[in-house]
Amino acid sequence: MIKLVIQRLALGCLLLLAASALIFFGIEILPGDAAQAVLGRSATAEALANLRAEMGLGRPAIVRYFEWLGGVVRGDLGVALTNGVDITSALADRFSKTLFLAFWAALISVPLAIFLGLLAVRFRDRWPDKMISAITLTLISVPEFIVGYVIMFFVAVKWQLLNPLSIVTANMGVFERLEAILLPVLVLTFVVLAQMMRMTRAAILNVMESAYIETAELKGLSRFEIIARHAFPNSIAPVVNVVMLNMAYLIVGVVVVEVVFNYPGMGQYLVDHVTKRDVPVVQAAGLIFAAVYILFNMFADIISILANPRLRHPK
């Protein structure tokens, strides 16, 4: 088991290295002049030459990649070209806000998704199962920005219950922050709840076809006891996988939701600097998003190995 965990960790590091190269060279081959995009069309030739020299555009890309990678290993992500702010400190502040948003969305969506999945299995092919499946399928089919604008229209504009913009400042208390993020948390909950619930239901129903479930039924156990004691524990591995993937989405995929509600997190920070062609910020934010996604996938693999003894043996 230790060997398998070490293999997963090594594979995660290799994937992160490959992701860093893809992010760096992918941005490198984009058309246009990065210095011109930062300074604007009115920039003088001397200013453009100085910025190109500062960005190291005259040196080979492979040399600049390894210099950037060395800085990342040391915790130095560079300085933003547009405002001269240290990227590491700026990303730390924005990332903490994104984690705060994702934490509350996960705290609501994960238990609710598992409960609804168990409820759908308990009342399989009856009206609770059909209603839950119809609602979740609808939520999966609708993009999150549409869900966000619909909720914003009714809750914030028509009924005027909450502020449509989720503005969070450093001097706000915990309850003030919770009130400010209520709308984006609601949207994120709707988005990830549907997929987690459907995967939970599918995983448990797959286990319910096993022979030992039939044996438990013949023993006279109730359907609730069969699901709670036999089906759910043996379907925990795929449930954990889908939960981890959705936790990664709550951090990596919040870009659209943060832009819709003007929430000052990582997604909003990335979009602002993409429009300004601030290459160091885009590279750093992209690497952090890739690291989070790889990390959660690695955790999902490790937890699946620990939860399912069959995965510990290659045969």
Decide: pTM greater than 0.85.
Answer: no
Q: What is the pLDDT of residues 42-54, one digit of tens each?
A: 777 787 788 777 7
Residues 230-238, mean pLDDT to the nearest whole number: 76
Q: Give the 3-state secondary structure of 162-222.
A: CCCCCCCCCCCCHHHHHHHCHHHHHHHHHHHHHHHHHHHHHHHHHHCCCHHHHHHHHCCCC
Q: What is the mean pLDDT of residues 269-278?
A: 83
Q: How confident is the model at residue 28 (pLDDT cuts 50, 70, 90)?
A: confident
Q: Which pLDDT belongs to residue 308?
A: 64
d(C-alpha 57, C-alpha 55), whole Å: 6
Q: Answer yes or no: is pLDDT of 18 > 90.
A: yes
Banded pLDDT at 311 (limits 50, 70, 90) = low
pLDDT tens digits, residue range 280-298?
888 899 899 999 888 888 8
Which tokens hold the place of 91?
A: 């990303």
Q: Tens digits of per-residue pLDDT, 109-160?
A: 889 988 888 888 888 888 888 898 888 888 888 888 888 888 888 988 888 8
Higher pLDDT, 50 or 62: 62
Overall average pLDDT of the 167-173 stretch: 79
Residue 33 Cα to chain centre, angstroms: 31
**94-279 has which fold?**
MetI-like fold (1.10.3720)
- What pLDDT sits at residue 22? 92
**C-alpha distances in angstroms, 210 versus 207, 225, 309?**
6, 15, 17
> For all residues of the chain together, what is the average pLDDT?
83
Residue 310 pLDDT greater than 70, yes or no: no
Q: pLDDT-derived band of residue 14, with 50, 70 and 90 as boundaries?
A: very high
Mean pLDDT of 216-232: 79
